[in-house]
Homo-oligomer: A and B are copies of this chain.
Amino acid sequence: MGGVIDGCPAGLELSEADIQNWLDRRKPGQSRLTTQRRESDTVQILSGVFEGKTTGTPIGFLIPNDDAKSKDYSHIKDSYRPSHADYTYQEKYGHRDYRGGGRSSARETACRVVGGAIAAKLLATKGIEVRAWVERVKDVQIERSFEVLPTVEQVDSNLVRCPDPDAATKMEALIEQMRKEGNTVGGAIRCVIEGVPVGLGQPVFGKLHAALGGAMLGINAVKAFEIGSGISGTYRTGAEENDLFTSKEGMISTLTNNSGGVQGGISNGQAISFSVAFKPVATLMRDQQSVDQKGEATTVKGKGRHDPCVLPRAVPIVEAMAALVLADHILIAAADRLK
């Protein structure tokens, strides 16, 4: 597995270790809450970095597969797993690579994490920080709000990647129970971006939150995206929901942040905050009724090694995609205004 990242400016300090930290948070087998399939997910930079700095030319990278043992896919070769892409691929392309889910496998998100790690290094040079965490697993959710952005250490202080220890304990128990039952759960990840300058995003096509939403909905298993107060804000009136402006020593800000840091498609300098909802993993460790390519009834066996809940491993993916979108807009914004 590998890829090519184009458009990274020259002069950014970058090492494989910077990227590896991110991949390690996504890789399978990292805890008892995740799939026990093991991949070291070790990244090799092939081009675009010289003497520790990016050269401005495309960055090629490789993540060799090390779990090479031949697997048995006969149980899915001819049958369609429910809520997977087997059927749609078969119909779209006329044939499909049934091994390991092929291109629909969430394994390809490792490449997005590589891009996100580089983007985050770029953002750090501008004082921008991206942080995501699990805020809900099924119906267990964080009850408190955070005055100060949780640190990576706080997020990673438990296996669930939830910075509220009480909620984390309940979430962990729920995921463990699901695993025992061969069942799965989803939930929601909150992502907050601090230090964002005013003015990122384009007014008509290319609104910043539309770019973020499109990127998040491209992550496997994502079913919904909410910016700022999201759906809950649509249960309030305009008088309750509007973010009033205020100023302090000449600095303009808003009294509330229901907009989630984006107004009219453009960042307003407040923290960008959004929520991403993930459906329960479709692969169950249970037998499920299905059909084969001929439409004949069949049973899909529950076997293999799968995650009972993707959210802990999805935290760095959400951060990566957010960092990519922000970095892209930082680069675009250089051309906004005559200097």
Contact = CB atoms under 8 A, between A and B. Distances in A.
Interface stretch (A17-25, A77-85, A144-152): A77-85
A303 interface: no
A233 interface: yes
A191 to B, nearest CB: 14
Contact of A245 (B82, B97, B229, B331): B82
Interface stretch (A35-43, A165-173, A178-186, A312-320): A178-186
A238 B104 contact: no
Q: Which of A92, A108, A265 has the most CB of B within 10 A?
A: A92
Given A92-B266, A203-B57, A234 B280 contact: yes
B85 A11 contact: no
Contact of A247 (B2, B234, B295): B295
A56 interface: yes
A204 B295 contact: no
Interface stretch (A26-34, A155-163, A282-290): A282-290
Contact of A92 (B56, B280, B290, B294): B56
A15 interface: no
Nearest to A91: B198
A195 interface: no
A233 B223 contact: yes
Contacts of A277: 226, 230-231, 234
A14 to B, nearest CB: 11
B338 A11 contact: yes
B334 A245 contact: no
A217 B227 contact: yes
Contacts of A95: 10-11, 50-51, 53, 55
Contacts of A205: 218
A230 to B, nearest CB: 5
Given A85-B265, A93-B56, A277-B230, A238 B10 contact: no
A230 B224 contact: yes
A93 B10 contact: yes
13 contacts: A2-B60, A10-B94, A10-B336, A54-B338, A58-B103, A91-B269, A186-B241, A188-B234, A210-B215, A213-B225, A223-B260, A230-B277, A242-B282
Given A89-B264, A183-B238, 8 more contacts: A9-B337, A84-B263, A88-B263, A104-B203, A138-B236, A223-B231, A238-B283, A245-B290
Interface of A: 1-4, 7, 9-12, 46-47, 50-51, 53-58, 60, 62, 80, 82-85, 87-89, 91-97, 102-104, 108, 122, 125, 136, 138-139, 178, 183-188, 198-199, 203-207, 209-211, 213-215, 217-218, 220, 223-231, 233-239, 241-247, 250-252, 254, 258-260, 263-269, 277-284, 286, 288-291, 294-297, 331-338
Closest 10 CB pairs of A and B: A85-B264, A214-B214, A92-B199, A334-B334, A184-B238, A10-B93, A247-B295, A238-B280, A56-B93, A88-B266
